[in-house]
Amino acid sequence: MERPLVTVCRDCCCGSARKHPDVDHAGQVARLRAALGQAGVRVSACLDACERSNIVVVHPTPAARRAGARPVWLGYVLDDAVIGDLTAWVEAGGPGVAPLPEILTLYRTNAPAG
């Protein structure tokens, strides 16, 4: 079964110990990769949503994308509970396949304009 791709922003603000000193940024990426596979998680340079760091984008599978699903942007991904909820949703199929869990709607944000 195909899984959605997860993009984790790690640049100027997202992943910054200066901005979020109590977050294990490398640990977040490691937990996602352990759960979703190395190929299922990519690290990106700045996604231009610094005010909502840490940003994670969940991209639908190609089949879900063809059916109309779009990437889901999540902001303020700063704790293990959110990583767990995110992982469970991706494992269930993610955008276009499984409904966004209610708890993750609290983190949903828009992609930057432009």
pLDDT in tens, 28-54: 999 999 999 999 999 999 999 999 999
Closest CA to 76 of 3, 18, 114, 19: 19
Domain boundaries, the chain: 7-58+70-109
Q: Which of 8-22, 50-64, 92-106 has the lowest mean pLDDT?
A: 8-22
Judge whether residue 1 has pLDDT over 80: no
Token duo for residue 94: 């993610």
DSSP 111: P
110 preceded by cis ω (within 30°)? Answer: no
Q: How far apart are CA 51 and CA 39, in angstroms?
A: 28
pLDDT at 61 over 70: yes
Q: Confirm if 74 and 110 have CB atoms less than 8 A apart.
A: no
What percent of the chain is modeled with pLDDT above 70?
98
Residue range 78-94, pLDDT digits in tens: 999 999 999 999 999 99
**pTM recorded for the entire structure:** 0.96
Q: Which residue has the tokens 């269930």?
A: 92
> Cα separation of 14 and 52, whole Å?
8
